[in-house]
Amino acid sequence: MSTLITPHTDARMAHIIEKVRGGERLSLEDGVYLYESDDLLTIGQLANEVNLRKNGKKVYFIENMSLYFTNVCESRCAFCNFRKDDGEEGAYTLSGPEMVQYVEQHIHPGVREFHIVGGHNDKVPFQYYVDSLKALNERFPEVTLKAYTAAEIDFFTRISGLSIREVLEQLRAAGLKSLTGGGAEILSDQYRKKMRVDKANVEEYLEVHRTAHKMGMRTHTTMLYGSIESREDRIRHMLQIRELQDETNGFMVFIPLSMQPKNRNAGIMRRNSAYEDLKTIAVSRLMLDNFDHIKAYFINIGVQLTQVAMSFGASDVHGTILKERISHAAGALTPEGMTREELIWLVKGAGRIPVERDTFYNEIKVYE
């Protein structure tokens, strides 16, 4: 066993180390303790050990594009600066052919995935969302459609009168292959009420993913941290995701999303600290023992901190993205995307092995 960087750990930390190394699952109390501990190096090294056991030194990325068909949204979540009302300046709703035209102007060889999310636009019927995917799938059949959050799927059931399964069946027939992870925020109904998350509640979010998994679809999941939630709320969020993963084994990756301030000029105190971001990635890796991957999302935490995160349990750095809008509308100061060469440099610069993947973590190329 490797030697811990910080040798003077207390009895509680020593017990957690023993549990992790022995393959024993961590509890709610363990997770809260880790969050409250200031021993970041021990937590990080322990998370790194877990990740190395699962993935070795491989760190994954994908060539993808982020697409947003509409920013019109009926919801008014307190943390969102992307949404618009119908008719408001800057509001838009693109048709399938219009999005195809946009993609044709911006796509480059090697793109394997369209990452598609947007507003809950109740001014258009459910068929609009089906046709949007169909247009892309017909023009770019070689590109995987990873589309819509669980909250969007729940929204589609309300505007269509269909069940979750029926909505997913229609979208899958149009080309859908996987769901994005957004819409989770913090899985606490109390949090969702305070933050005006007037979209899918906790059980609805989980039920969408449960249904998708039972249909053979593998999906992604997130946690948006850094606002009003407690550290216990974060751990309870992870435990609910872990429990569903025990049931279905349908999640491929967990993505901690660092909250961005709503104003680009907001002071640094309104952002999560690097310390908090690294601890969240490490604690996620330790709590989610049944997940293969924890993602360090450079859009939210920055390029250099993403490199450090690879030694704190992260095994994925997302992808090329091309023109990310949601986090940047909220005030992200990071690049809107990166090239394949930049991502390879990013991973190699951290002493890791870059692996280009597809949506389902099948390896395309290993850059030794």
Question: Which residue ranges are tagged as binding site?
Answer: 73, 77, 79-80, 185, 196
Q: What is the DSSP letter of 288?
A: -
User: What is the CB neighbour count within 10 angstroms for residue 97?
Assistant: 12
Residue type, 147: A
Annotated binding site for S-adenosyl-L-methionine: 79, 185, 196
Compute φ and ψ for 111, nearest 5 degrees: -65, 125
Structure tokens at 330: 């909220």
Q: What is the DSSP letter of 10?
A: -
Q: Rounded to the nearest 10 degrees, what angle do helices 274-287 and 231-248 cross at? A: 30
Annotated binding site for [4Fe-4S] cluster: 73, 77, 80
Give the separation between CA 178 and CA 218, rounded to whole angstroms.
Answer: 6
288 near 238, Cβ under 8 Å?
Answer: yes
Q: Which of 28, 23, 14 shows the shortest CA–CA distance to 240?
A: 28
Integer distance in angstroms from the first to the last C-alpha of the chain? 26
